[in-house]
Amino acid sequence: MTELTLTLTDMAHGGLALGRDKSGRAVFVPFAIPGETVRVRPPRPGDRAARAELLAVVRPSPDRVEPRCRHFGVCGNCAFQHMSYESQLRAKMAVVRDQLSRVGGIRNPVVRPIVPHPAAYDYRGETTLFRADEGGLGYWSPVLRRIFRVAECPILQPELQAALGELDVELPDLRKLTLRLGDDDELLAALEVEGVEPPELAADFPISVAIVLPDRTAASLIGDPYLVRTVGGRPLRVSPGVAFPHSATAAEMLAAAVLDVAAIAPGEVVLESQAGAGWLTAALAARAAEVIAIEPNPDAVADAAENLDSFDNVSLYEATEAEALPALARAPDVAVFHSGGLSPAAFDWLAAARPGRVVVVAEVGLLAKEAKRLAGAGYRPVAFQPVDVGPQGFGVEVVGGWSRG
């Protein structure tokens, strides 16, 4: 069989629409929408579930729209530009429920309505680029199976889009370049190279440049050693190698969701792990009696110390989770984890210290796996708040809340 016509029924995690052939085998189709009838080149016989190639849309969905980017369908960054934003949100809600119930083992999870992003395009204040095979910088293409040179990216804020056309980095040892936008349209390029010697660079437009070392600390090469991003009305210093949401808007959306799910009461103590530059710490400190913030990156600790200087209820520790968590004098009322889920050290501490409530922020695929682990440690799911910080992409961040017993 060289072609197959089928009607799609659901959206799977990963941005592929799901249909079934006459034998009942699952067929996953890219760049399609549930409800559409499509013609595809099917997976090889014997594959229980595999990705097909979309050949034609026989009966399009009313939610189908024209993609804005010339690279859509080749670039690996966006999966949903062919869908209206409202249908993207519906698809993501369905994926969240499916992942939490099927992977996380939660019966009838309490999933709150997804928080939409205020802008479907022009929203990202950060992007990571790689050396393209044809020269210049670009993104990974799962279709071409290589890095291709990018000419445009409409999900970036306009200032970053303009910089894409002006960047010309000739560094044979370049691993990747992260371009960030700060307040007042400040630009900073953070380079990661194979060697440890700082390269010699020149820039033809206003931009700061830093080299990020393997331990995520950075050395400034040109211009300012950090950017400033204002989150919730508070200017925050952010160094080049310090993790931060891709925009101030994303940080504000996630912080609001964490506060809502955590439901911090007056007098409570909150632990925050992987605090970074303190963007979430500040929001927590405005509610809690005390915040214990743990962060292993010395540059991030220096940023957070300056950013949180006005708070007298924050204790900031430069340490890994394995170092800091067992040393805590007592369990906090709420423990917040928001950088890649629960490490083995964090999970072991949760099982032993047994804080009353746990909040985890992660992409839904990872969060669903953590849900099953937390259930095994005696935690009961309370609520899940999806937050769409990445329109046009298939991923969705979820703030999950659990309590003991």
Domain residue limits, the chain? 4-64, 89-119+230-404, 126-224
d(CA 384, CA 365): 13
So what's the pLDDT on residue 205? 65
Model confidence pLDDT, tens digit, residues 30-59: 999 999 999 999 877 666 557 899 999 999
Q: What is the mean pLDDT of residues 150-176?
A: 85
For the chain, the C-alpha Rg in angstroms (whole number) is 22
Backbone angles phi, psi at 39, to 5 degrees: -110, 130
Residue with tokens 């990661």: 192
pLDDT(198) > 80: no
d(CA 402, CA 405): 9
- Measuring CA to CA, which residue among 133, 146, 141, 188 is closest to residue 163? 188
d(CA 7, CA 33): 10
Per the CB < 8 A criterion, the answer to whether 239 and 226 are in contact is yes
Q: Select the CATH number that applies to the domain covering 126-224 from these four: 2.30.30.110, 2.40.50.1070, 2.60.40.10, 1.10.275.10.
A: 2.40.50.1070
So what's the pLDDT on residue 24? 87
The band of 197, judged by pLDDT with boundaries at 50, 70 and 90, is: low
d(CA 7, CA 15): 16
So what's the pLDDT on residue 203? 57
So what's the pLDDT on residue 63? 98
Q: Select the CATH number that applies to the domain covering 4-64 from these four: 2.40.50.140, 3.30.1300.10, 3.90.180.10, 3.30.1330.20.
A: 2.40.50.140
Q: What is the mean pLDDT of residues 366-375?
A: 95
So what's the pLDDT on residue 1? 57
Q: What is the mean pLDDT of residues 271-293?
A: 98
Q: What is the mean pLDDT of residues 81-107?
A: 97
Q: What is the mean pLDDT of residues 52-73?
A: 96
Which residues have a Cβ under 8 Å from the Cβ of 397 and sit 6 or more positions away?
A: 254, 361, 362, 363, 364, 386, 387, 388, 389, 390
Q: What is the mean pLDDT of residues 118-123?
A: 98
Which residues have a Cβ under 8 Å from the Cβ of 26 and sit 6 or more positions away?
A: 18, 19, 20, 48, 49
- Measuring CA to CA, which residue among 159, 163, 164 is closest to residue 137? 164
Angle CA 20–26–29, to nearest 5: 85
Mapped onto helix, strand or coil, the DSSP state of residue 10 is strand
Model confidence pLDDT, tens digit, residues 373-404: 999 999 999 999 999 999 999 999 999 999 99
Residue with tokens 């937390």: 374
- Measuring CA to CA, which residue among 373, 366, 369, 380 is closest to residue 347? 373
Strands (E), 151-298: 174-181, 187-193, 208-212, 218-222, 227-231, 234-238, 269-273, 290-295
So what's the pLDDT on residue 133? 81
Angle CA 177–180–184, to nearest 5: 150
What pTM was computed for the model? 0.94
For domain 89-119+230-404, which architecture applies? 3-Layer(aba) Sandwich (3.40)
Where residue 136 falls (left for φ over 0; alpha for ψ -120 to 50; beta otherwise) is: left
So what's the pLDDT on residue 23? 85
Q: What is the mean pLDDT of residues 64-83?
A: 96
Are domains 4-64 and 126-224 of this chain identical in fold? yes
So what's the pLDDT on residue 204? 63
So what's the pLDDT on residue 324? 97
d(CA 308, CA 287): 14
Q: What is the mean pLDDT of residues 257-283?
A: 97
pLDDT(195) > 80: no
d(CA 371, CA 347): 12
Residue with tokens 């924050």: 314
Where residue 378 falls (left for φ over 0; alpha for ψ -120 to 50; beta otherwise) is: left
pLDDT(185) > 80: yes
Q: What is the mean pLDDT of residues 104-112?
A: 95
Number of other CB atoms surrounding residue 384 within 10 Å: 27
